Amino acid sequence: MAWTAIGLAADVPLGEMRRFQWEDEFILVYHLEDGWYATSERCTHQDCSLWDEGELEEPEIVCQCHGGAFDIRTGRATRMPCVFPLDVYHVRVNGDLLEIED
């Protein structure tokens, strides 16, 4: 396992999320009171972008396309019509950098 830098931690203020490119996809990184979290960026219901259509309502990301939601700490679908989980990633701050574990 290795850690890959994806951006600057300072670009994600407390209580907010940002989208970053990682490998050949986008992921969302969340900066919460209790730490940093990262999930895939596409809703598992009908593939809406959670960056464009998602609303951060801690501890959930709510997809405005059809009202589904996910727990950002686990990726678990928490509201219908979402059933399948988001992918989740290990994220850490190393100096100024945000890093994702490969």
Q: Which two tokens stand for residue 41?
A: 């960026």
> Out of 4, 11, 21, 46, which residue is the one contacting ligand FES (CB under 6 A)?
46
> Out of 12, 43, 98, 100, which residue is the one contacting ligand FES (CB under 6 A)?
43
Per-residue burial over 77-95, b = 16 or more CB atoms within 10 Å of its CB, e = otherwise:
bbeeebeebbebbebeeee
Cα 16 from Cα 80, distance rounded (Å)? 24
# binding residues, ligand FES (CB under 6 A): 10
Query: Closer CB to ligand FES, residue 17 or residue 48?
Result: 48
C-beta atoms surrounding 15 within 10 Å: 11
The residue to which tokens 């593939």 are assigned: 47
Q: State the minimum distance, in angstroms, from the CB of residue 19 to ligand FES.
A: 16
Query: Closer CB to ligand FES, residue 9 or residue 72?
Result: 72
Residue 63 contacts ligand FES per CB under 6 A: yes
Interaction site with ligand FES (CB under 6 A): 43, 45-46, 48, 63, 65-66, 68, 81-82
